[in-house]
Amino acid sequence: MKRKPLILGAVVLVIVAGALAVYFFYLNTPRRQALAEVNSEKITLEEFERELAKVDNPMRDMYREEPEKFLEMMIVQRLLLQEAKKANPTPPIKTYKDNVKDSKSSEESLIEDFMKKKFASPPSVSQEEIEAFYGVFKDRIGGKPLKEVAPVIEQIIQQGKQQQAVEDYLKELRNSAKVEIDQGRLQKIAVKPPESNTAEEFKKALASGKPVLVDFGANSCIPCRQMRPILKELQKEYAGKASILVIDVYKFQSLARDYQIQLIPTLIFFDAKGKEVFRHLGALEKEKIVAKLKEIGVGG
């Protein structure tokens, strides 16, 4: 009879050990740790990585540099799903279409149906609003009579009101929700943005006696980021023959003003004397860049 306390004690130790094992090897696994809690529902690092993997580059890399932006999108998505489930507690019936590649998930379909029903009625547009719009944009629509363009104007105003209504709803939903974000964990998964060149490096390149290609852009610009892999390839291929630089217009605003940069990316080609010989607004294919470099005297 005296052995019972010992047996019970051993059982308790086994249970505690098992609970600790579950905590340390399962719940405490970094990928299962929560980045955020949305009305007590967790968004884990594993979920974050899974959703981010669905995004194409360069946006995926940009979100890795600023993960809070993507997390905020997931938070709003989770809030919409919660509201959709409240409105329709019965889950949708799965069909064979759910197994088709690139088809919407049941959760996405649920949210889409919820939003369609919530904003099913188009906003009303008054005659005064149509006339005011016509008065402002009359010259841009070729001076056509109001009667002819009124239906199109009404549709444009409706779309604008609808979009604003959706934005207001999402903002209210986010502000009224109980959301906790683990900022420390979020900072740990953030990736350092790609580096750009300095004003001093730009100055030295122009005085180097070699042709120079400068990409005036920014890390937050999608076309600029699409150019980065091409520019990296060119840096390797033309090492010692030409300088390929990237200047961030937000870090070096004075340079951007000096060279009158109005659109990014802007590619500027300089000859061996440091004189600007050509500029292109927007992204440019590698083949065209190579052809232009050859024109200004860069050997293959």
How many beta carbons lie within 10 A of that of residue 188, not counting itself?
Answer: 11
Among 45, 157, 221, 298, the active-site one is 221
Asked if 292 is an active-site residue, the reply is no
Among 224, 231, 244, 289, the active-site one is 224
Q: What is the dihedral of CA 228, 234, 237, 239, to 10 degrees?
A: -100
110 contacts 85 by C-beta, under 8 angstroms: yes
d(CA 73, CA 34): 16
Tokens of 252: 């070096």
Asked if 221 is an active-site residue, the reply is yes
**Residue 45: exposure state from Cβ atoms within 10 A (0-12, 13-18, ≥19):** buried
Sign, CA torsion 209/204/227/237: positive
- What are the helix (H) ranges across 88-198? 106-118, 127-137, 146-176, 183-189
Residue 289, amino acid: I
d(CA 148, CA 7): 91
283 contacts 265 by C-beta, under 8 angstroms: yes
> Could you identify the residue written with the tokens 């690139």?
102
Closest CA relative to residue 215, chosen from 266, 261, 167 = 266
Tokens of 55: 């995004």
CA 17 to chain centre: 43
Query: Which residues are annotated as catalytic?
Result: 221, 224
